[in-house]
Structure 1
Amino acid sequence: MRPSNCLLLLLLSFGLLSPALLGCQTQRPVDQLRDRGDFYFERGDYLAAIDEYQQIADRYPGDWRAQHQLGRAALELEQYSRAQRALEVAHTLRPADHDIADDLAEAMLQVGSHEQLFAFLRERAESSQSPRAWRQLGRYAMELGDPDSARTAFERAIIHDGGQSVEPYLDAARFAEEIGDLETAVRRLRQAYGINPRHQEVRERLINLGEVPGPTLALPPGR
């Protein structure tokens, strides 16, 4: 055996040299890191999951899946600043991904970056004009105590939905009921009922507000 190899073995045996220092051959494959990270995440061991995902992100910062999962795990551990950093990278790499955008918005909320959150959500809603984006803006506006922005966002969601689904009307009804505008709440629920008279929450809310579901209760969609 060559003297240099003997020296390496001796150092390793006494713990004086880490295997990681021997080169990249000791690095685990990315697929293995991702699988282990997903395994830990599903088990709820978010700290271990972060360790796996962080190794991928360190080696390949452009791996949006690792950045997203890193952000999700950090959210679970209430490491909100760390989550926001990872999710901002993931969003830059995948700007059209709704799940990443939703998680990033939650991180911004928890960090307390409310102005940044509103700017982010408004830009997404105005650029995409999607009902989902407007509804998300409305829900966060409600949570942060901005009823004017919430009302406008829910109305925009209704316009861009075009009467295709009950969700924008349900959001608008919940908001109206929360601020005490029961007349508007009933009207929005009746519109939702017209779209899907079998929707359980719509029926329950109508009954709780004193309405009796039936063919004459439905209203056409629209503002």
Structure 2
Amino acid sequence: MRLYARGLVSALSLAVCLAGCENGQRSLPAIRQSAEHAMYIKDYEKAVSEYGEIIQRRPEMYRDRLGQAQAYLAMGKPAEAREQLEIAYTIRPNDADVIDLLARAMLESGDLTSLAGELRANAEAKNRVWDWLLFGRYMFFAGDHDEAEKALLTAARLDRGQSVHPQLSLAELYQRAGDDAKALDRYRMALYLAPDDEKINNAIRAMGEVPGPTFALRPAEQGG
């Protein structure tokens, strides 16, 4: 994601100065504890304020930007959340939590064009299973089933049929789209990889089938 926060370097320099001038102020751990408690009791306005004080004093603390963004999202303010998350992304561009929350903020703000473009660019640049899964999941949330399927199939190919998450994601996508035949095939492939997984076994039973070793299907991406 090509996101930039102007003035961040200057703000970080200021934070270094402020860090040595905190006499008479609450400690950052104390403020963070207060913010986390406010989140726990769903006092989101207080959480925003508390995290905001930490960010003002230490703008490089990306975890506190995540906390404030989560509070904003809980308040139904995705635009404000996105502002903090874009800055957090410049600090931690490979952090899964940052990318996931930023995508959520884009989705909830209705900016589906940016959501698709940024997640696609991120997946193509990093070309990791997780990034394609994320792209597929959010395209499904956005109602674009074709893009979701392409992204999840890419994740499955990169994974080479070695882990259950791409198979299960495809199964759930097909099932929600009403394609029970494809859904069942992917559940069978997931069963092959995780035969004792209760969720997979229950999903197969709910489709009227009996899970077991002979019902499992080798993932198509394993080849052979």
Task: Pick the TM interval, shorter chain.
Answer: 0.7 to 0.9
Matches of 2:200 and 2:30, distance apart in 1:
46
Give 1:131 deviation, angstroms.
2.0
Q: Which structure exhibits the higher relative contact order, with contacts defined as CA atoms closer than 8 Å and separated by 6 or more residues?
A: 2
* 1:137-176 superposed matches below 5 A: 137-176=135-174
Structure 1 stretches of at least 4 aligned residues deviating more than 4 Å after TM superposition: 23-26
State whether residues 107 and 142 of structure 2, in contact with CA within 8 Å, keep that contact through their aligned partners in structure 1: no
SS for the counterpart of 2:204 is: helix
Q: Distance in 2 between matches of 1:70 and 1:106?
A: 14
| Deviation, structure 1 residue 105 | 0.8
Q: Which residue number in structure 1 is paired with residue 18 of structure 2?
A: none
Matches within 5 A, 1:67-82: 67-82=65-80
Aligned counterpart in structure 1 of residue 126 of structure 2, from 118, 125, 128: 128
Match of 1:15 in 2: none
Contact 1:169/1:189 (8 A) holds in 2? yes
Superposition map of 1:58-137 within 5 A = 58-137=56-135
Deviates more, 1:55-64 or 1:114-123: 55-64
1:61 is paired with a residue of what secondary structure?
coil
Which residue type is aligned with residue 69 of structure 2?
G
Quick one: which amino acid aligns to residue 108 of structure 1?
M
Are positions 1:30 and 2:28 aligned together? yes
TM-score (norm 2): 0.83
1:3 paired residue number: none
Structure 1 residue 109 displacement after superposition: 0.7
Number of the residue aligned with 1:215 = 213
Provide, for residues 170-203 of structure 1, a one-character-per-residue CA deviation record: whole Å limited to 9, x for no partner: 1101111222222211111111111111111211
Q: How does 1:19-58 map onto structure 2 within 5 Å?
A: 25-58=23-56
Matched-pair contact (CA < 8 Å) for 1:158–1:222: no
Instruction: Please give the secondary structure, in 2, of the residue aligned with 1:215.
Output: coil
Percent of matched pairs sharing the same residue? 35
3-state SS of the aligned residue for 1:212? coil
Instruction: Kindly provide the amino acid, as one letter, of the partner of residue 63 in structure 1.
Output: M
- Tell me the equivalent position of 1:198: 196
Note the C-alpha offset of 1:71: 0.8
Verify the 8 A CA contact 1:190 1:218 in the aligned structure 2. yes
Number of equivalences: 201
Deviation at 1:53, TM superposition (A): 0.8
Using the TM superposition, name which of 68-77 and 178-187 deviates more.
178-187
Q: Identify unmatched segments of 5+ residues in structure 1.
A: 1-22
1:116 positional shift: 0.8
How far 1:124 sits from its partner (Å)? 2.0
Asked which structure has the greater CA Rg, the reply is 1
Could you report, residue by residue, the CA deviation over 1:11-41 in whole angstroms, capped at 9, with x for unpaired residues?
A: xxxxxxxxxxxx9644333232222212222
Q: What SS does structure 1 have at the residue aligned with 2:192?
A: helix
Q: Partner letter of residue 89 of structure 1?
A: I
Higher deviation after alignment, 134-143 or 46-55: 134-143
Between the aligned partners of 1:196 and 1:29, the Cα distance in structure 2 is 47
Q: Matched residues in 1 for 2:162 and 2:41: separation?
A: 38
1:115 alignment partner AA: T
| Gap runs ≥5 in structure 2 | 1-20
